[in-house]
Amino acid sequence: MSEQPADPQQEKDSPSLLHRVESHILGAAIVALVLLAAWQIIRRALFNEAWIHADGLIRQSVLWLAVLGALAATGRRKHIAIELDPKADQRPWAAWKSRLVSLISAAFCATLAWYGWRLVELERDGGMELLPGLPMWCSLLILPIGFGLMALRFGWQSIVAAKAETP
């Protein structure tokens, strides 16, 4: 019996371990958010009571999901992008344009990470709590960490992995 060689396109399309882990984390977080929101609605409707910290936790969970989703999208190069020249990918300088766009995106995300850190510092001085014993600034750590990781991903793409993709 001879084994057939693996299809290179199939290997390219199969998600890496990191992408699978990201997808599972995002999926679990979405399920947890929906269950928490449903539980809060049921408690209010049926028992005329609510968990006082649920609304803040739901808001922070949405922030985490948005940043983690954006991080996953950047890793797959499926993020929102504004294309000024739709035919640019067919030109000889398309790879350089892709690298430049990735470099600008890295700088932008690094700036957002820095401002996210400044927000964490301000919130740390404020002393508010998300949950009893959990300061609000801990929940905002996703901003500098998430945007910092996005800056690294865009930076990596601008140096090594940026390729002109044809439609």
Handedness of CA 131, 137, 143, 148 (dihedral sign): negative
Kindly provide the b/e burial profile for residues 7-36, where b requires at least 16 CB atoms within 10 angstroms of the residue's own CB: eeeeeeeeeeeeeeebeeebeebeeebeeb
pLDDT-based confidence at 88, cuts 50/70/90? low
Residue pLDDT, tens place only, 98-156: 788 889 999 999 999 999 999 999 999 988 888 888 899 999 999 999 999 999 999 98
In the predicted structure, residue 4 carries a pLDDT above the cut 70: no
pLDDT (mean) for 16-27: 84
Handedness of CA 108, 106, 145, 68 (dihedral sign): positive
Domain ranges, ordered by start, for the chain: 16-161
pTM, rounded to two decimals: 0.75
State residue 19's pLDDT score.
Answer: 78
Nearest to 76 by CA among 166, 150, 6, 2: 150
CA gap 50, 34 in Å, rounded: 16
CA gap 144, 123 in Å, rounded: 13
Helix then strand then coil, in percent of the chain rounded to 5, is 70, 5, 25
CB-based contact 68:25 (threshold 8 Å): yes
In the predicted structure, residue 12 carries a pLDDT above the cut 60: no
Worst-scoring range by mean pLDDT, 26-35, 53-62, 90-99?
Answer: 90-99
